[in-house]
Amino acid sequence: MSKVAWKGGALLGPLPPVMVSCGDGVQDNIITVAWTGITCTHPPKTYVSIRPSRHSYPIIRETGEFVINLAPASLCRAVDYCGIYTGAKVDKFARCGLTREPAQVVRCPIIAESPLSLECRVTDVIPLGSHDMFLADIVAVNVDDALLDEKGALHLNRAGLLAFAHGEYFALGPRIGKFGFSTDKGKKKKRK
Amino acid sequence: MSKVAWKGGALLGPLPPVMVSCGDGVQDNIITVAWTGITCTHPPKTYVSIRPSRHSYPIIRETGEFVINLAPASLCRAVDYCGIYTGAKVDKFARCGLTREPAQVVRCPIIAESPLSLECRVTDVIPLGSHDMFLADIVAVNVDDALLDEKGALHLNRAGLLAFAHGEYFALGPRIGKFGFSTDKGKKKKRK
């Protein structure tokens, strides 16, 4: 292949287009965000980067809490809608047919239709330019019991998650392998 | 659906399992990382979170540079391998049949077989627990010209990118829509 040299750009993918819910029981909102990721395993930490002009920004800033709701491909239209319209003018829960559900730990609602929701508490707000980064602890997880097997193990592949890459939404396709498959030799089968 | 309440965990997906190349011309390495994301659009910023025990950690820490090489599904075995074995004992380029190519701006090699590589300069190192977060500017991009149309527009969907979710690798499946499709009404067609 032949490479073309470009200047820097935010060209990473595929990313999770998640619905971030926020609020304190008085006001709430949903904003779709793809600028998110895991930043630490132990303790579990994540972030969302949000423009200060967005309606959800001051809500998260003031409450110090948000919920990352993973998005299945079946909710793609709601995901797109919640990334475009402002919560200042519309109740996105009502408009998208989404249901508020109480979280375990934070005051924000979780989205009942999401198969897996991460409750987050902000630890740092880092201004970076167009976006401020909200670094956060993942303090609780809510998971659809249909993703669990009889032993309680999580099968996230059952969620039919949505992916986002350079302005386009994709369903996840075929499973190619499991972490560690490149080492699978006969002798590895003895390991637990 | 019925929800099960768990304590916090690093359960976000789908994520990009990228091959991070690093080095200074004397020593180099590749480490696969899924703890990455975009943190800012303007200027373009990203991060990778890496355990201090990893072979690539001191290389990135000392050089202040790394390259994020996006991974197509066809390279899944190399992606998995580079996430497991240590560069202290093996040349992962040679072992995985990957080719070093000079970057535009940084001293690290880019991976020739990657369809899109982001050259990054570290701005901050933030210790978070098991992982340290390397916040970085994306200072240059290298893109396979097969992803560009005759007008030079990027079609990242042609890259056949790999996704990672809870320990499993997936190909991207069908394209569901384009950002903004939930607003597509007749009147929108007038917009540019």
What confidence tens digit (pLDDT) does each residue in B127-179 have?
A: 999 999 999 999 999 999 999 999 999 999 999 999 999 999 999 999 999 99
CB contact at 8 A, B164 and B13? yes
**Neighbouring C-beta atoms of residue A97, cutoff 10 Å:** 10
At residue B151's C-alpha, the angle toward residues B146 and B155, to 5°, is 45
Going B95 to B136 to A116 to A95, the CA torsion angle's sign is negative
Distances in whole angstroms, Cα of residue B141 to Cα of each of A9, B50, B117, B154: 7, 22, 6, 12
CB contact under 8 A, A173 and B168: no
CB contact at 8 A, B134 and B66? yes
pLDDT digits (tens, 9 = 90+) for B40-54: 999 999 999 999 999
Q: Is the pLDDT of residue A76 over 80?
A: yes
Using a CB-CB distance cutoff of 8 angstroms, which residues of chain A are in contact with residue B181? 77, 80, 169
- Output the average pLDDT for chain A: 95
Q: Is the pLDDT of residue B3 over 90?
A: yes
pLDDT at res. A1:
83
Using a CB-CB distance cutoff of 8 angstroms, which residues of chain A are in contact with residue B44? 8-11
pLDDT digits (tens, 9 = 90+) for B90-105: 999 999 999 999 999 9
Asked if A90 has any chain B CB less than 8 Å from its own CB, the reply is no
pLDDT at res. B192:
42
Asked if B18 has any chain A CB less than 8 Å from its own CB, the reply is yes
Phi, psi of B92, deg, nearest 5: -70, -30
Phi, psi of B3, deg, nearest 5: -100, 140
Identify the residue with better confidence: A125 or B189.
A125
CB contact at 8 A, A181 and A94? no
Which residue in chain A is spatially nearest to B45 when comparing CA positions?
A10
CB contact at 8 A, B69 and B75? no
Distance, CA of A133 to CA of B32 (rounded, Å): 24
Best CA proximity match to B74, nearest among B172, B192, B3 = B172
pLDDT digits (tens, 9 = 90+) for A81-126: 999 999 999 999 999 999 999 999 999 999 999 999 999 999 999 9
- Output the average pLDDT for chain B: 95
pLDDT at res. B23:
97
pLDDT at res. A187:
47
**Neighbouring C-beta atoms of residue B125, cutoff 10 Å:** 15
Q: Region B2-16: what's the mean pLDDT?
A: 97
In the CATH hierarchy, which fold is given to the domain comprising A18-186? Pnp Oxidase; Chain A (2.30.110)
Using a CB-CB distance cutoff of 8 angstroms, which residues of chain A are in contact with residue B175? 168-170
CB contact under 8 A, B172 and A175: no
Q: Is the pLDDT of residue B124 over 80?
A: yes
CATH number corresponding to B18-145+157-190: 2.30.110.10
Q: Region A43-72: what's the mean pLDDT?
A: 98
CB contact under 8 A, A163 and B163: yes
Q: Is the pLDDT of residue B186 over 80?
A: no
Torsion angle of the four alpha carbons B178, B181, B182, B188, in this order, in degrees rounded to the nearest 10: 150
Using a CB-CB distance cutoff of 8 angstroms, which residues of chain A are in contact with residue B35? 37-41
CB contact under 8 A, B40 and A170: no
Best CA proximity match to A40, nearest among A113, A127, A135 = A135
CB contact under 8 A, A83 and B43: no
Q: Region A128-150: what's the mean pLDDT?
A: 98
Q: Region A127-156: what's the mean pLDDT?
A: 97
> What are the structural domain ranges in chain B?
18-145+157-190
